[in-house]
Structure 1
Amino acid sequence: MICDDGLAAANLDEVWCGPHVSDTFPPSYRLDPIVNSIVDTPALGGDEVLRRIEQRRGAVLPVHNLMAELDPQFLDLFDEMYCHTLGVDPVPADGRLSASYRELICACACAVANAPVTTIARHLRRALDLGLTEQEAIDGFHALLIPCGGLAVAAGVRAMMLLRDQAAEA
């Protein structure tokens, strides 16, 4: 398999190198994250993928709607990887990194990437709902200081403040 940069992909982990991943495989192929391979199963339509996202995550974002319209196979792959990576479905087995810490890592990565504070807060909210403590959250954001700088720490703290403000309003 050749990626957009002209390099050969030796395994599935290297397939995510181009902007049009769904063009890499025939439409009937789907990613099976459990066995880390591509399997030949019927592709889901955009509406089916949106229903699955709503069921698994509780909400569909505007970006999901556009992806469902323009490239439902990519959205299908993206959702499978998102859910597997963040521990949405399947839930991580004992001895594996818990979904709460996976979401904290995601919130920290979003803070480093200068994502909107609402995006950081969404991942942090899920982490807290899954049992992460505020102390663990602040420790995670503090750990960003040396490798990533004060702006990343401040973004994480702003997300924590947003969640507290939202809780006070509720």
Structure 2
Amino acid sequence: MTDNTATTTEITDEEALARVKARRGYLLPVHELMAEVDPQILRKYDDLASDLLFSDQPRALDLKTRYLVLVGITTAVKGDPDGIVWSAKRAVREGATRREVLEAILLSALPGGVPTVEEATHVLAKVFDES
């Protein structure tokens, strides 16, 4: 049996973190944990996220819409106020209006429940105060 993992270039945890920070401009605790446990997983995770979120390649959804989807998801999954802030700021930067961001949050009430919307609106107020 042949080991196919040798075809992937091995990177260190420091290299993996540096690559994520250079691409995104920030690091999250999950990035640091992945780098510590397995830098190759962080590299693959970052490649996927970067391809979906940060790529200029044409997609069916434009960047604004992708970030609005993330606003709704980070609201619905509860407990991710940083994700709400991050994705809402990105959506606004890509041209989303306050109403569009609010609608993305309101849509999350269907799978996440009204308490998720209430929590997210407190977070959203901070985003709009900063912009």
Name the TM-score, length of structure 1 as normaliser.
Answer: 0.66
Find the partner of 1:143 among 87, 91, 107.
107
Higher strand share: 1
Aligned equivalents of 2:30, 2:115: Cα separation in 1 = 26
Aligned equivalents of 1:70, 1:149: Cα separation in 2 = 34
**Local SS of the residue matching 1:43:** coil
The structure whose RCO (Cα within 8 Å, separation 6+) is larger is 2
Unmatched segments (≥5 aa) in structure 2:
none
Aligned equivalents of 1:159, 1:26: Cα separation in 2 = 45
CA deviation vs aligned residue, 1:131-168 (integer Å, no higher than 9, x gap): 22111101111222334321232233222112134x17
**1:142-161 equivalent positions in 2, closer than 5 A:** 142-161=106-125
Unmatched segments (≥5 aa) in structure 1:
1-24, 29-39
Aligned equivalents of 2:96, 2:67: Cα separation in 1 = 9
Structure 1 residue 27 displacement after superposition: 4.0
Sort the Cα spacing of 1:148 and 1:71 in 2 relative to 1 into closer, same or farther, 3 A: same
Alignment correspondent of 1:91: 56
Alignment correspondent of 1:102: 66
8 Å CA contact retained: 1:53, 1:60: yes
1:162 is aligned with what amino acid?
K
Structure 1 residue 115 displacement after superposition: 2.4
Aligned equivalents of 2:80, 2:93: Cα separation in 1 = 20
Aligned equivalents of 1:147, 1:66: Cα separation in 2 = 29
Alignment correspondent of 1:81: 48
Find the partner of 1:66 among 3, 23, 33.
33
**Local SS of the residue matching 2:95:** coil
Q: Which runs of 4+ in 1 moved over 4 A?
A: none
8 Å CA contact retained: 2:17, 2:35: yes
Higher helix share: 2
8 Å CA contact retained: 1:103, 1:124: yes
Structure 1 residue 72 displacement after superposition: 0.4
8 Å CA contact retained: 1:120, 1:156: yes
1:160 is aligned with what amino acid?
L
Identity of paired residues, percent? 26
Aligned equivalents of 2:64, 2:57: Cα separation in 1 = 10
